Structures are given as C-alpha cells and as structure tokens.
Structure 1
C-alpha cells in the first residue's frame, strides 16, 4: 500500500486541518472532527442548521459541502466509520440556534444510531433537531426493504435541497420535509472496477480479476450485489439507469436531475464518457434531463468506478437546486443544453484533382504497403514508446495508416499530389507530435517534386522533408529522435543517387543507414520530448520514432521507381 499520509491514526484530523487551511470560509472545532462555516451569526439569528457527515474517505464529502446555501457543518468519523455521538452533538451545538438543526444521514446503522442519539440529546437541550435518512441505493431493491437500503452519492443532492430551503428562512419542519421529499424522489447505483485500500487496513477490501467488475457496490469499500464481466461504458450505463428508472417508475416525460459521481479513482475523461452515455440513454427514452453534474462528489477513497443518481424534479425542487450555494466541492449550475450541439467544421476549399499520371499505380501500391507495415507493428511501437515515452505512438501510426487507406484513388495522381494528400491525412489523423512532423515533412517534399521526377528530384525531396522535421522540432543528430534514422538515410540516398545507382539500390542504401541510425539510439540519452524526462533510464531501448520511420522505409523498398 502506498499512501501520502503520516500516521494512519491521524489521517482524518490532518485532512480536516488541511481543508480548513485551504478554505477561509470554514473552521474546525478544537476538540472534535467537525468542520463548520466560519463567521456564523449569533445563534438567535441563525437559520436552520443543515448538518451531515459520516466516516471519512468519501472526500470531498462531507466537509466539501460546508458553505452558504448548503451545509452548516460536517462531522467526520474515522475512515468508513460513523462519527461519535459526542462529535455530532458538538457539531449541532456549534452550528445551530433556536430554529434548530436538520441532520442528513446516510442509511447505515452506525450513522443512524449516533446521529439519532445526538438529535435526541440536542432536542433535550433546547435545540430542536430532526433527521432525514437517505436510502438511495436501488441495487438493494431485491435484497432488503426500501427503508433499509444504503445511502450513497445522491445524498449530495439532498444536501443542496435542504441547504437551499434553510437559507430561504424556512422553519425546521419545512426544511425537513423538503429534504425527505427529495430523498424519496432519488435513486442511485454504482459500479466498481477495483477495490480501495483503507489506510489502517493496508490491503484492498476485495480482489477482482482484470476482466471483472462489482455492480451495486456501497461506498465503504465493500463488494457489490453481484460480480460480472467488464463491459463497455455504455452497457454499464444501461444496467445502472435501467435499475434506477425501474425502481423510481420513470418513463417518457419524466423530469430528472442527473449526478455522475466518481468513486475516487476514475479520471474525468471516463466520467465524461459515462455522462455522455447517461444523457443519451435518458433522452433516448424521452426523459427530460433538467440538470446534470459529473465529477467526484462522494467517493470511496481511491476506488475506480462510478455511480449514477437520478432525482425526480419539478419547478419547486429545481428552484432549490438552482438557489445560490457556495462550498469548495459544489459546482453551481448543472444547466445543460437540450441536446448535444454539433456544428460543421469549417473546410478548406477543395483543389481540383489532376488526371492520374503514369506513376499513380506504383505510388498507391507503395504507400499502402507502408500503411500496412505500420499497422502490423502497432503493438511493438506501443511497447517501445511505453518504455521511453507516453505509449501512444503505436496507435498514432495505426490511425495514420487508416487515414492513408481511406484516401481516394485520385490522391495518388502524381507524386506531389500524393505527398500533399498524405500530409493532409496524417495531419488530421495523428495527434501529439508525430502528426505535425510527418505532415510538415510531406508537404515540404511535395513542393520539390515535379509530375515526373527523376532520381535527383526524389533525393532532394527526401532531404527537404528531413530538414523540415529538424526545423519544426529543433532536433538534431544525437538527440534520440526519428531524425537519427532519417538524417543518415537521406544522406545515404543522396550519395547513392549522385553515384549513379538506380532508385531501388539507392533506397536500399537509405534503409541500411536508417537501420544503423535507429539502432544507435539505444545508447543515446534523450534530449527532446517526454523521453528527455527519463534521462539515462531510456538507455538500452531504441527510440520508437526512429523505429517507426524504419518500418515504413523498409516497406517502401524498391519504390519509388
């Protein structure tokens, strides 16, 4: 286990201290793990205090929602452990006034017991306190009765509803009723791709094979209701939303708010893909998504996976969701377009296609051979680039090859047209640095080729292409880049042509020079690109870009003719 912590027994307190250090609108109780709004008015002037909490490990919940229009205080227990009665009572005393407090509690035994007893004690002291229990996990619909389901990420939306109602000055009974109604209109379900590790335990809570997932998990590192095979994101969205909408009885015309929640180890890229799938699923069934959010709202430490929550809304509930609220973890808004907005990309004016010249069939065959070779070496290029780069070269070359194969026959009409069309295709298909390098090289070479080039014309075009790569990226020989294969190849090609060798033999000389150059990169310390960050750790592995250049050069052996 690797964690950025000091002492497993002090992770919660040190985390809370860090949070209040970063957020001047929050304060931390001295004797309890309670974060509350800083600068609260005198007790008699306070609105109803909305308080939530639970075990730590769900960050940014719950402290991240302490702020105007949301929570008045958040009470933290040890990781995945309910806070004590005394801690909850301290939070009520610190945040509430005569108008009372509402405790928003997720439906776990420890939380219900400790928050429930604290509410009784606070009420006995003269602070009227009510509890709203959130039990939104629809995965348990066939396992336990509805009142015994777990509370998971949809709780965050209940925080917002209750906080807005309290900020509007409503009495405790009305704030509690708004929260209860919101909780009743809520359904959530999650999926985990792997387990998380509680700091005090030091090992994952369960083990999954590489191709397994847990469906219907809770938020405390426990297993789900069933284990299944890994599926594409859209199929998982279908399973989650199918269960949620069936439980809530939703159909065409239903108005909902959507929360796509990361469990702590899921990057924004994947959450956006899930959000895309969820919105398409709901809209495809004629439901109206009034608001939507995606991000880490209530997590399970570093667990990879996500949960989806739907809350049925009407105009009144939407007004509470839209009401002003400010807290470190709450992203105000949630407004989305009624449908995905796609606008046409501006296109360059198409140039007329010249008639095919005598070299067109040879050019097409040679270029498609190079494309096939790059596709065939995708895995090897990925492996090399992963050892001393970011691992994307293989797929980049494969995308480029696919773009080449998609070119129409007219793209190979003449040598200059072929190189220009290749450059345009690779520019559009390949991201990162490879696309611009190859596109620039090909466009530069195209300007130096007549319709019927002789051997010196090919040599000059190759030399110009290599020079263009060096000028664009600033690389030179010995920097451990593709130029370490291409530069000696271009020189060897020019020498062979000048010496009177036929093009196939001259190209063979170029390939041999490229092979030697690519092999030499094993002993070169990288000076440019991401590999430069590795320093001597890159030694012993040839540069992936140089090897890729060698792949297509070998495939062109015997061409051009």
Structure 2
C-alpha cells in the first residue's frame, strides 16, 4: 500500500504540524501531540473546556473539532493507539481554568484508562475534571452489555452538545450531564467494504472477497461482528438503521438527527446515496428527522464504507446542536427540508406545432433508426477503443443515445429540418460527456440549413456546416485526433463528388471511404485535445473512438442515400 508519508514513526506529529499550519485558530503543544484552541480567555475567566482525543487515523477527528463552540483541545496518540496519560494531562493544563474541564472519551480500554488517570491527576492539582464515556456502537448489543460497547462516530455529536453547553457558560456538572444524556440517546452502526492499512503495518488489517462486506465494525481497522454479502445502498442503510432504531426503542413521531459518516475511502457520491436511503427509511418509519449531516467526520484511515448515527433530540438538545461552532471539520447547518423538493422542468418557450409529414419522412426514420442500431451493435467495440485513450464511456453513451432515438415519436421525422432538430435535442439529453453537446450542436446547425425539400447540394452544405459547428464548439481541427478527422474529410469528399456531377449515392460512398481513411489515420496521430491528450504517445496504436463512431453511423446511412 502506497502512502503519502515520510517516516511511519512520525506520521502523527507531521500530520498535527500540517493541521496547525493550515488552521490559524489552532496551535500545537510543543512537547506533546496536542492541538489547542489558539485564543482562550485568561485562565481565571475561562468557561468549562471540553477535550477529547484518541488514536490518530480518524481524521478529521479529533483535531478537526478544536474551535470555538466545540473542543478546546484534542490529544492524539499513535495510529489507532490511545494517547499517553502525560499527553492528556498536558492538554488539560494548557486549556483549563478554575471552571474545570470535561473529557469526552470513546469507550476503548486504553482511552478510558489514560484519560481517566489524567482526570484524577488534574483533579489532584486543583483542576475540576469530569469524564463522559461514549459507547454508541449498537452492533455489539447482542455481544456485550451497553456499558462495554465501543465509542465510534456518534461521538462527534457529543462533542457538539458538550462544546455548545460549555460555550454558553454552563457549570461543569451541567455540561457533563448534558453530554452523558446525549451519549445515552445515541446509536451508531457501521459497514466496511474493505480494510484499511496502518502505516507502520504496511498491509491491510483483513481481507474480503469481492462480494463480501463487514458489518458492525469499530474504527480501528478491525473486523466487524459479522461478514455478509454485498447489498445495494438502500438495503444496507435499512439494515443499519433497523438495528439502531431497535436499540434506541424509537417509535413513530420520535425526533432524531442523523449523521452519515464516511470511513475514509468512500466518495461523497456514495455518502449522498446512503443519506438519501437513510432519510427515506427514517421518514417511512414515521420518525421526524430534524437535522442530517453527511461527510467524513470520524474515519478509519482509507477504509471504504460508512456508519450511520442517530441521536434522539428535543428542543433543548437541538438548540445545542444548532449553536454556532467554528471548528474546521464541523460543517454545521444540517437543516433539511421536511421532504425532497422536486419542481417540474420549464417547457420550451416557443414550442411549435408538429408539421405534417413530408415525402422523406419514412426514409428519414428508417435511416436514423439504422444509424441507431449500428451504434448499439458496436457498443462493445467503442467501449474498448475509448478505454485505451479515454474514460471508456463512449460505447454506453452512444447506446444510450440510440435508445433515446428509438423512443422519438413518428412526428419527429416529418421533414429533414424537423428530424435533425429533434435528433439534436434527443442526443443532447441522452448522451453524456462531450459527444452529446457536439452532436447536438452539429445537428441543430445543419437543421437550419435545410428546408422541407432539400436537394443533394443542400444536404452537402448542411453536412459541412455541422462539421464546422463541432470545430467551433470544441476548438478542434483536423489532425487533432478527434471525430473531426473522420467527419471533415467525409464532408469535403461528399461535396466535391456532387460538384463533379456524381450521383448522390456515389458521392456518399466517397464520403464514407474518406471517413474510414481519416479514422484509420488517427491511429498514428498524437492527440491534442480531450482526455486522450493527457496520455501523449501512450494513445498511439488505436484509432480515436469518436472518429470510429462517426464511421459507423456514416456507413449505416449509405443504403438510404439516393
């Protein structure tokens, strides 16, 4: 496993130094791995301060929550290892005043021992100190008693509640009570799609088959309570939430907040899909979702997967969650609409009535459907070509466009101008990436050149105008290794052959041969535009996929050119 580190033994210190460099509201303790709030009131007038911490590897926790309204200090140990008693005590001494300190501790043996002993030592020095233990992992509900469960991602919400209470000037006993009550109203469960790699170990903590997942895992790269088969996001979210809701004994009408937490290797796209599933499930159970957050809040290095946390709230606890906080990793907000809002798309402003069918309507329909069929038949080949120098999506994009063409109503082919305009609108919506806009622009410009009864010369000019439109839009020229290397010579050959007096079918044959030669020439062209240009000479050896696609549909049109 490759990692962007220097020395595995110094990853924690260097990470903290980087965080201190990036966040002017934070400072780093000189002799210990502790991040502190940079500006605190004089010691004698300080309110209660909240501290937390644990092993590194959970970033942005814990240092990411050091800021006004949340933590005053975060103490870091080695990766997945509890910080020392001396480090915790140094953090308490650095930030606490006579009002005292609250330590929010995740329920792991090392953390409880070291934070607990540090609290005793601080109290012996005259610093009032209390400890709140978070044990929110409901996956262990059938394995251990509640007090022995692990503390995982829901701890972040306890940080927020405790930090807001402390910032409001409440006394230590009340801050501790509010934090304990919040922890008791909290449940979390996670799922992993793979393992993570501790820098010092250099290899993943466990192995999963391609279709396996770990359910109910902690946050230290360990295995879960059960191994199961991969499921869709909706099913996984429902599985996690059913367990949490049963543990919290939630009934319809209960008010909750939900935290969708990435474990470090899950992209925002997937977290948003999980959030959608979670909100849908919770509302379907009659629960009132007051706030929701999604992102990386407490991770396990680069582990792929997520956890879901639910906290039961009332007006008072919700006010603490809503209170201002300026910690770097706390995204705040969390407000959501009572239900998803979807508005209808605006209709075209100048929708014209469909014209009566002209003499070319059936020929146009058959020709366009033939081109669509050719694209579908060659989906795999276009995917293969595009994968060599692009992102591999051209085959599926063109097949999607073909399916959209088949869905066009018969009136779409009434006249050449109408057919090209409808075809452009259809492909604009159906084809992703760059191909959709290119084809749509080309077809719309060509449509403006055609009347209801165009001659061969009109078709040739429309073809040339379409090719010019692609160049104008994307900035490409022949020789840049794009679809233009097939289309430009084809348009020129078609127009030249007609000017020589050749029949339209013969001229079209010349156009197809010119396109074939142009596409083949791209095999030795160094790309100058698009994703392929990033590969340089590595793109050589295969024809450009866009040019190959153009040849396919040009050939398919040949039987209909008369």
Could you state the TM-score of these two structures normalised by the residue count of structure 1? 0.97
Choose 322-331 or 373-382, whichever is displaced more. Answer: 373-382
Aligned runs of 1:341-380 on 2, under 5 Å? 341-348=341-348, 349-380=350-381
Paired residue for 1:79?
Answer: 79
What are the Cα deviations for residues 106-157 of structure 1, in whole angstroms up to 9, with x where unaligned?
A: 1111111111111121112211211111111111222222211111111100
CA distance in 1, matches of 2:33, 2:177: 28
Paired residue for 1:105?
Answer: 105
Which SS does the other structure have where 2:560 is aligned? Answer: coil
Paired residue for 1:445?
Answer: 446
Paired residue for 1:481?
Answer: 482
Paired residue for 2:159?
Answer: 159
Choose 235-244 or 2-11, whichever is displaced more. Answer: 235-244
Paired residue for 1:142?
Answer: 142
The yes-or-no answer on 1:195 pairing with 2:195 is: yes
**Contact 1:383–1:391 (Cα < 8 Å) also in 2:** yes
CA distance in 2, matches of 1:215, 1:371: 45
Q: CA deviation at 1:25?
A: 0.9
Aligned runs of 1:389-404 on 2, under 5 Å? 389-404=390-405
**Contact 1:366–1:556 (Cα < 8 Å) also in 2:** yes
Q: CA deviation at 1:500?
A: 4.3
CA distance in 2, matches of 1:477, 1:490: 12
Choose 162-171 or 223-232, whichever is displaced more. Answer: 223-232
Which SS does the other structure have where 1:447 is aligned? Answer: helix
Q: CA deviation at 1:62?
A: 0.1
Which SS does the other structure have where 1:187 is aligned? Answer: strand
Q: CA deviation at 1:372?
A: 2.6
Paired residue for 2:263?
Answer: 263
Paired residue for 1:168?
Answer: 168
Which SS does the other structure have where 1:319 is aligned? Answer: helix
The yes-or-no answer on 1:276 pairing with 2:276 is: yes
Choose 509-518 or 253-262, whichever is displaced more. Answer: 509-518
**Contact 1:49–1:101 (Cα < 8 Å) also in 2:** yes
Q: CA deviation at 1:470?
A: 1.3
Paired residue for 1:510?
Answer: 511
Instruction: Number of aligned residue pairs: give it.
Output: 561
Which SS does the other structure have where 1:546 is aligned? Answer: helix
The yes-or-no answer on 1:114 pairing with 2:114 is: yes
Paired residue for 1:34?
Answer: 34
Q: CA deviation at 1:456?
A: 2.3
Paired residue for 1:521?
Answer: 522
Paired residue for 1:299?
Answer: 299
Change (3 A) 1:146 1:383: farther
CA distance in 2, matches of 1:430, 1:316: 50
CA distance in 2, matches of 1:155, 1:383: 47
CA distance in 2, matches of 1:401, 1:518: 21
Q: CA deviation at 1:499?
A: 4.0
The yes-or-no answer on 1:323 pairing with 2:323 is: yes
Paired residue for 1:457?
Answer: 458
CA distance in 2, matches of 1:560, 1:317: 73
Paired residue for 2:469?
Answer: 468
CA distance in 2, matches of 1:559, 1:140: 69
Instruction: Provide the aligned C-alpha RMSD in A.
Output: 1.6
Q: CA deviation at 1:356?
A: 1.6
Q: CA deviation at 1:307?
A: 1.0
Which SS does the other structure have where 1:547 is aligned? Answer: helix
Paired residue for 2:388?
Answer: 387
**Contact 1:411–1:417 (Cα < 8 Å) also in 2:** yes
Change (3 A) 1:336 1:505: same
CA distance in 1, matches of 2:214, 2:490: 53
Instruction: Name structure 2 gaps, 5 residues minimum.
Output: none
CA distance in 2, matches of 1:231, 1:542: 39
Paired residue for 1:58?
Answer: 58
What are the Cα deviations for residues 45-79 of structure 1, in whole angstroms up to 9, with x where unaligned?
A: 11111110001011000000001110010000001
Change (3 A) 1:486 1:133: same
Choose 502-511 or 122-131, whichever is displaced more. Answer: 502-511
CA distance in 2, matches of 1:276, 1:389: 31
Which SS does the other structure have where 2:449 is aligned? Answer: coil
Which SS does the other structure have where 1:541 is aligned? Answer: coil
The yes-or-no answer on 1:493 pairing with 2:494 is: yes
Change (3 A) 1:86 1:376: farther
Which SS does the other structure have where 2:102 is aligned? Answer: strand
Could you state the TM-score of these two structures normalised by the residue count of structure 2? 0.97
Paired residue for 1:545?
Answer: 546
Choose 454-463 or 331-340, whichever is displaced more. Answer: 454-463
Paired residue for 1:130?
Answer: 130
CA distance in 2, matches of 1:521, 1:559: 28
Choose 401-410 or 223-232, whichever is displaced more. Answer: 223-232
**Contact 1:503–1:558 (Cα < 8 Å) also in 2:** no
Choose 368-377 or 296-305, whichever is displaced more. Answer: 368-377
